[in-house]
Structure 1
């Protein structure tokens, strides 16, 4: 019986970084969670414990902090800097992936140094192999709700089906979306992200929904249609169910006003919308 080493990688997960830019009367806060992952010629450390090619994960963490000293900027650009550094400076590393979560802070107008946490988390993921870089932007935990304009009916029924059809329901979800840039031309990362997020919200609000799947596809179409530099978008939409409360035992009616917001279980709708001509990068980019 013989064995061989398969795909492998290693890195430093969830390096927390907060940078405060103090120039001017109003401070700016950049709050990040950075994960670095490296892959390459690492057979020796797995088979014999020879660590000559293993850049310590502690070094990866320190590199994140050191690079932040010069400024972070847009998280896609920051991730690109890190990924290229790890591959270009270490011959044994053939691929780096850097994932960044950015927690937004909005200024409180009373002072120049007070903030409140913003809704949703901006994300970026960069994969670099020494020649090509794939950049994915996104957002997660962006919670949205339509109080009407949603139906759900016409589904198959069997002996276990108890769900009633509805022509008017609350539709709520916490959006996680990742969109891949095509890689052609320079990107102004900030406006690109803001535009994609705004189109997500516009599509959610404007789509008269007969299913959350229909809403997902509409959101994906809107993200791509507004930016020719985007190749595809992957969405994950948990259905945050709101059920009408039966008030009849108390002698009361309930004209679609009082709901129970269920925590779990929940439906989970996922899908990818892509341009028909978009090339497949051949990697699990999300």
Structure 2
């Protein structure tokens, strides 16, 4: 599969949507409902469940029914996000996928998103659609038809108009909430580094791997995802240990620290310090967070 124009006689590509889940069952159910109503439904829907058999039951009983891939969590509290994405991709490829579409379980695709990803997919491209962060749901929950009215695309990423593809994107802006690529491009990159566990780092590393492999990061218009609301910390103090551990791993692999905005915010709170002698960020013995 070299691009969207494969000839009139060529069959349409087999598109697999892949998501990961550990909790957030209502988010999973709404994503599944959106896929059932999509203009272009996925040929395969693969849900990697991280020590969450209840999510597997929801996914397998929904419409479209999912192929469930159970993934063990070896270390309590440290979800193997990179390993789960790789496991989901392996199953999708075994099912015959030509195009892999990754959606965070919190993300609800627009009606046209899967089809737009399928049309734009070409070898050598890493496609990123827009993501809009939704406000808390109204009484009775979100209505799929109204999601575009509730939030604009995140201002920190390019948002091309529908039908446009912006090439030459900054790999350091990649995020794994919503992206797509061909099976050949996935194999070329080699998947996610499974040394990352817990929160953060693995998606920035993946973008670096893609860049090293000569894969072009592209921002795609017309493939929106709507991120369902859930409480967050800013900065994410509850994930401080993961950020330090995964940040140090990234530095060993690539020579610099990612997530420095969060690290500086932690430093202002007295939770971490930068050691110029070692070039490392370290936890301090500051008082516990409020």
Q: TM-score normalised to the size of structure 1?
A: 0.27
| Higher relative contact order structure (alpha carbons within 8 Å, sequence separation ≥ 6) | 2
Between structures 1 and 2, the one with greater strand share: 1
Q: TM-score normalised to the size of structure 2?
A: 0.27
